[in-house]
């Protein structure tokens, strides 16, 4: 009997100067030649395919017998001692999840049965690429990992603030992270992708294209964790009490809406306060302004899967909310800071394999590989198979098993029996009716290293994402590509990226090529599968197309000097706090100032330590003498200049004009408000609900 072709009909393809082979799923294969060594396992076994894990059929589950993948991911998991390989820079908090809408129709998971019922939660946010000491505002994907301590055990929803990923198969995860991290011969750059290795990898991995549009967007420079969406990324299953299965994608929708900073602002925040996101989360919880998200689900069936033009097992694809609306079924509230960072945030261990009855996996090859990987990682990082004995990792429901010993064992079985079955009537027993059972999905197919054909469309949804952005956001994406690729030293890599962008949007490709100064526009990269044209833009993919007109959770910086007008200052402080704004006073000295009424006003920041990049909007209230003094202070001039350049709403009194003149800023557009009376403060705050005065940005860039 003829066997299937394991090489699955590779074809030649050229990306710029790089000649490679491409598999049927569009993946890149680089094969050995006389001048290059053969890739092998650590045991010296030649590797035929390093792009695809071994599966039971093209859309089947990853097989445990894939020794090459297991060895590769096992070694990768153990690369850092004791730091996480990825997501090292993290911050967490305690809270609760409360169900608001029952999903009993779709799942038997206890957590989704009774509206109004709460379970404990622990959430850890993180950057992916940077080490533990890296800054918070690096352009990077943010981890959004949630541990829910349910009555049926711990459920870990380990996701990101972006709904797609760079790769389709977990066997490529070590390669992707190696290329993203600092280059091994020089140990830089740190916490950034603006270097040759990263762009070389993604330019040779067309499946990354959709994710590239996301990471070059404002999504990767969030204003804070509180203004950030979360996604489960993968397609999971829900299974109800009758054994019926549905598919589901999980979303976390922030109560305060989504907000990002601009790139120049991010660069300066990293210098002014590299702990910006950490401080923001800690302070908001400490102040009782508890961050909150709604849990949303996209639920769909096999009939939708059959007609959807992309494969729902492909982690580089989304299901647009217009196709399957997000149903909001619960809320996540963070209401308690940790008592000890190391004990809780650093030792918390998330594993994608941690699910509960009523929730199941799909055959997404990236998810399948993560299920292998996370347990290895926690064993190495925490030093023992007993990491679940650490309080933050322990379930809150009753638990019992026969696992014993190992480093730091704290819950060994009691009595004679440490096995089952046993004759002593001792120890825990199976629970066929309530215990976890996997959905009996039929699986059939030859053992192959292949990808499904629909995985090969790498450009259609990238185009949809780009065309869903506002003009401002598209400009930011273009600028991000130009900035990052300007740090790439190899011309061929820059050209290769542009060749992929031509398949996304021709105008974007032309703008990036022009920004890089390319003498000629490279040919479009040959697509592995003809892109779908005419996909409708999705408003849900844009930040600016979904404004939430509220000041709640934002921060106002008030620059003052001795003699600042008391009536205006009091109005700003009182009205801002009434609107839910956090307010910080920035003064020449940290001891504060004496206002015109003779009242002492304490300061939270000294002018050279409280730049305007730390605030969502700013107010400048000065005396004549104070304005003359601060006009000579470089950091005070920067306070005004940066607020103007970053399109922030600005309020000021007439006496402050000398500072603006010294900063070469004329505050005369609609984003600026002169305060002559307390009534003007109300007008200013109404403007501030728009977060930024975007019309100014184009004029600043034009200069």
Nearest to 551 by CA among 353, 692, 435: 692
Gyration radius from the chain CA atoms: 27
Place of tokens 């090529």: 513
Strand partners, 334: 95
Report how far residue 206's alpha carbon sits from residue 455's, in angstroms, rounded to the nearest whole number: 11
Which residues are the active-site residues? 87, 160
Structure-token match 């003359």, residue found: 628
List Cα–Cα distances, 549 to 80, 131, 692, in angstroms. Answer: 44, 36, 11
- 75's CB contacts (< 8 A; 6+ apart) are 42, 174
What is the C-alpha separation between 326 and 299, in angstroms, rounded?
Answer: 8
The CA angle 604-605-611, to the nearest 5 degrees, is: 140
Give the separation between CA 8 and CA 23, rounded to whole angstroms: 7
| Torsion angle (degrees, nearest 10) of CA 653, 656, 661, 666 | -20
DSSP state of 164: -
Do 29 and 18 touch, CB atoms closer than 8 A? Answer: no
Q: Which residue has the tokens 């900063």?
A: 663
Inter-residue contact 612 to 640 (CB < 8 Å): yes
For the record, the structure tokens of 178 come out as: 């190696």
- Let me know: does 379 contact 385? Beta carbons within 8 Å: yes
Which pair of structure tokens corresponds to residue 29?
């294969």
């Amino acid at each position: 009997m003829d066997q299937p072709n394991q090489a699955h009909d590779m074809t030649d393809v050229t990306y710029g100067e790089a000649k490679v082979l491409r598999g049927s799923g569009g993946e890149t294969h680089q094969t050995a030649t006389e001048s290059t060594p053969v890739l092998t396992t650590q045991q010296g076994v030649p590797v035929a395919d390093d792009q695809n894990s071994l599966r039971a059929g093209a859309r089947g589950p990853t097989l445990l017998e894939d020794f090459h993948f297991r060895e590769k991911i096992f070694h990768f998991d153990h690369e850092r001692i004791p730091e996480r390989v990825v997501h090292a820079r993290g911050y967490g908090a305690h809270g609760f999840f409360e169900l608001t809408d029952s999903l009993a129709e779709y799942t038997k998971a206890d957590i989704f049965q009774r509206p109004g019922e709460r379970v404990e939660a622990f959430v850890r946010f993180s950057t992916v690429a940077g080490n533990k000491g890296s800054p918070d505002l690096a352009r990077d994907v943010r981890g959004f990992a949630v541990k829910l301590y349910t009555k049926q055990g711990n459920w870990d929803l380990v996701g990101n603030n972006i709904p797609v990923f760079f790769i389709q198969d977990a066997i490529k995860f070590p390669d992707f992270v190696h290329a993203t991290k600092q280059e091994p011969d020089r140990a830089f750059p740190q916490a950034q992708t603006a270097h040759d290795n990263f762009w070389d990898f993604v330019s040779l991995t067309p499946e990354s294209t959709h994710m590239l549009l996301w990471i070059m967007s404002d999504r990767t420079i969030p204003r804070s964790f509180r203004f950030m969406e979360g996604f489960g990324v993968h397609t999971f299953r829900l299974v109800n009490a009758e054994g019926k299965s549905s598919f589901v994608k999980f979303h976390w929708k922030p109560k305060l809406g989504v907000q990002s900073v601009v790139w120049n602002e991010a660069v300066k925040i990293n210098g002014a306060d590299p702990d910006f996101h950490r401080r923001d989360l800690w302070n908001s919880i400490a102040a009782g302004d508890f961050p909150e998200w709604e849990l949303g689900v996209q639920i769909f069936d096999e009939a939708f899967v059959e007609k959807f033009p992309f494969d729902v097992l492909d982690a580089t694809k989304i299901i647009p909310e217009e196709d399957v609306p997000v149903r909001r079924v619960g809320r996540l509230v963070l209401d308690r800071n940790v008592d000890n960072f190391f004990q809780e945030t650093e030792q918390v261990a998330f594993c994608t394999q941690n699910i509960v009855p009523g929730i199941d996996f799909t055959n997404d090859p990236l998810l399948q590989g993560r299920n292998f990987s996370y347990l290895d990682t926690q064993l190495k990082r925490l030093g023992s198979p007993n990491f679940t004995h650490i309080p933050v990792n322990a379930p809150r429901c009753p638990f019992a098993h026969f696992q014993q010993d190992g480093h730091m064992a704290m819950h060994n079985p009691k009595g004679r029996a440490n096995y089952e079955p046993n004759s002593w009537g001792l120890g825990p027993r199976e629970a066929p009716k309530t215990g976890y059972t996997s959905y009996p999905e039929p699986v059939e197919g030859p053992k192959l290293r292949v990808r499904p054909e629909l995985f090969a469309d790498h450009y259609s949804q990238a185009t949809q994402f780009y065309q869903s952005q506002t003009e401002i956001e598209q400009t930011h994406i273009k600028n991000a590509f130009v900035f990052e690729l300007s740090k790439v030293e190899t011309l061929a890599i820059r050209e290769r990226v542009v060749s992929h962008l031509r398949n996304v949007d021709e105008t974007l490709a032309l703008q990036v090529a022009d920004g890089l100064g390319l003498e000629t526009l490279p040919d479009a990269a040959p697509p592995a599968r003809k892109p779908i044209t005419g996909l409708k833009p999705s408003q849900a993919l844009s930040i600016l197309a979904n404004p939430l007109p509220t000041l709640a959770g934002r921060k106002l910086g008030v620059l003052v000097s001795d003699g600042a007008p008391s009536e205006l200052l009091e109005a700003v402080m009182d009205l801002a706090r009434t609107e839910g704004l956090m307010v910080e006073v920035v003064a020449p000295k940290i001891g504060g100032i004496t206002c015109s009424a003779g009242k002492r006003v304490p300061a939270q920041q000294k002018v050279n330590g409280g730049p305007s990049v730390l605030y969502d909007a700013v107010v400048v209230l000065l005396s004549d003498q104070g304005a003359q003094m601060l006009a000579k202070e470089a950091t005070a001039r920067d306070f005004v200049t940066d607020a103007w350049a970053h399109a922030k709403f600005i309020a000021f009194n007439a006496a402050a004009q000398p500072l603006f003149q010294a900063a070469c800023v004329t505050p005369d557009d609609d984003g600026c408000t002169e305060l002559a009376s307390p009534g003007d403060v109300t007008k200013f705050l109404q403007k501030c609900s728009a977060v930024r005065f975007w019309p100014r940005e184009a004029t600043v860039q034009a200069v």
